[in-house]
Amino acid sequence: MTPDLRRIRLPWLAMVVVIVLGLSFVAVDALYAQQRPPVSQSIANRQWQWPAWEQWRRVLSLQDYNTRVVLFGATMLGVAAGTIGSFTLLRKRALMGDALSHATLPGICLAFVVATLLGVDGKSLTILLSGAAMTGLLGVAAILLIRRYSHIKEDSALAIVLSVFFGAGTALLLVAQKTPGGHAAGLETFIYGKTASMLASDAYLIAVVNLLVVGLCVVLFKPFKVLCFDAPFGASRGLPALLLDSLMMALVLLVTVVGLQAVGLVLMIALLVIPAAAARFWTENMGRMTAVSGLLGGISAMLGAGMSALLPNLPSGAMIVIVAACFFSLSMLLGAARGMLVRGLRRVRLNRKVDAHHLLRAIYEQLEAQQTLPSKIEGAVSPAIEWQSLLRMRSWSRGRLLRAIGRAKRQGLVKQLDADTIRVTAKGFAEAARVVRQHRLWEMYLITHADIAPSHVDRDADLIEHVLDDAMIEKLERLLHQQQRRETVGSPHPLSLET
């Protein structure tokens, strides 16, 4: 019996992965503890070594104050980015966060230069983030103006703003480094991120932004949902689409600005896109997708920052993105709604269902052409049929037909009389009559309402008959004035026992 992958719960999966990785690291550490050479503790030393058990214990128990601050701030950032990222992904604005993050670089450099010239501390995080927000808003306005007042499409506008603002920021970064104290300002850390330098005030700021973003997404969930799936319909119902769109972009900008110090402007787009894209594999419900996206973002940021704390030579932003990419790969493979494994199983089931329908319909039509159909469906006993005669009716291969017969036999639809002969059971004959009826109802619909010639409808009906449900059958009956549900419809074209 195929397991129901919808019962898989992502938090449990993440917990199992973390436990297995932790036990593996401990085992490897114990195995190679005696072989680990001594390493100099100089701050200039960049040699990598496997963390000792004491380091594992301190990180996992959150014993160090800085570790607690960093993990808390990174987790809050991941939750906020994953939550708002689910809306931008469905809104098809995923790259908007990339453009916004690159547009913040000139604002950071300008804020530092202006503050230094005015005699103010240019290294103040508040001043730098304020400058980032200003140029970020300018980047959003530039994208909207280019898209509205020119024939350039949105993807081209995003590329223009991203490249121009990042180029201007790179030039201003060189200017900022020439100012007094600019060489020690550490502005380049905003490009790649430096989570380890996060202060408690930074973590509290990220937590406040997280509460604001998640709260607004919950309050405005329905309007945002309409905006993502059918903005023109929402506008026709009086929904302020432009205001909601601007508010959504403002939330993206807010998350981007506060996340610059954690993962940097280059990798910030990963936290906005990867968790939402991974959550899309697990569910078709937008509410659950938003929750899973926020959860994945938080777990990815927490594990990435934790791994960076264990291995100080590895950058936190890069580790966060790598962990998020691992979750995306697992989701793409195991996702309960759109995962590759589930889609493969669905395709196999559908192909087997199609083969069973084709087998039963071929048997029914052969008996019908030979005028040997039983007089009743319920409890009917059909004549024996040589399975090799069915090869001429469809584009079967010998192996495929035998496999279809074997599956039908296990389902109780046919009986194997001897090596060359089969017989349809009462259950199989009832199913065959149902399949034939659906096929011919659809053929008659195509002939009557789609003006397709009777000689051409067989193949067209063959493509759709396997997915017709009871509601569609009833609708076809009403359209074709068929009142007796159990009566098999006659074929609208001559039957042929040859392919």
Residue type (1 letter), 187: L
Residue type (1 letter), 45: N
Q: Determine how many CB atoms are found less than 10 A away from the CB of residue 123.
A: 16
Within 5-124, where are the H helices? Answer: 10-32, 53-60, 65-90, 96-117
Distance CA 265, CA 268 (A): 5
The token pair that represents 22 in the structure block: 């932790």
pLDDT average per 10 residues of sequence, the chain (499 residues): 42 48 46 44 52 75 82 91 92 81 86 82 78 87 83 83 87 79 63 75 87 93 90 85 87 86 78 92 92 93 86 79 92 90 89 86 83 63 78 80 88 84 85 82 75 64 64 69 52 59
What is the predicted pLDDT for the residue at 119? Answer: 78
Handedness of CA 268, 272, 273, 276 (dihedral sign): positive
What residue has token string 């060359």?
Answer: 420
DSSP string, 338-405: T-HHHHHHHHHHHHHHHHHHHHHHHHHHHHHHTT---S-STT--PPPEEGGGGGGTTT--HHHHHHHH
Q: Are 317 and 193 in contact (CB under 8 A)?
A: yes
What is the predicted pLDDT for the residue at 76? Answer: 92
DSSP string, 216-271: HHHHTHHHHHHHHH-HHHHHHTT--HHHHHHHHHHHHHHHHHHTHHHHHHHHHHHH
What is the predicted pLDDT for the residue at 419? Answer: 79
C-alpha 15, offset from chain centre: 20
What is the predicted pLDDT for the residue at 212? Answer: 93
Q: Determine how many CB atoms are found less than 10 A away from the CB of residue 20.
A: 10
471 CB-contact burial (10 Å; exposed 0-12 / middle 13-18 / buried 19+)? exposed
What residue has token string 């300008």?
Answer: 110
Distance CA 293, CA 299 (A): 10
What is the predicted pLDDT for the residue at 59? Answer: 75
Give the strand pairing for 421-424 and 385-386: antiparallel
Distance CA 499, CA 497 (A): 7
Residue type (1 letter), 196: A
What is the predicted pLDDT for the residue at 292? Answer: 94
The token pair that represents 319 in the structure block: 């580790």
Distance CA 451, CA 438 (A): 19
Distance CA 278, CA 324 (A): 9
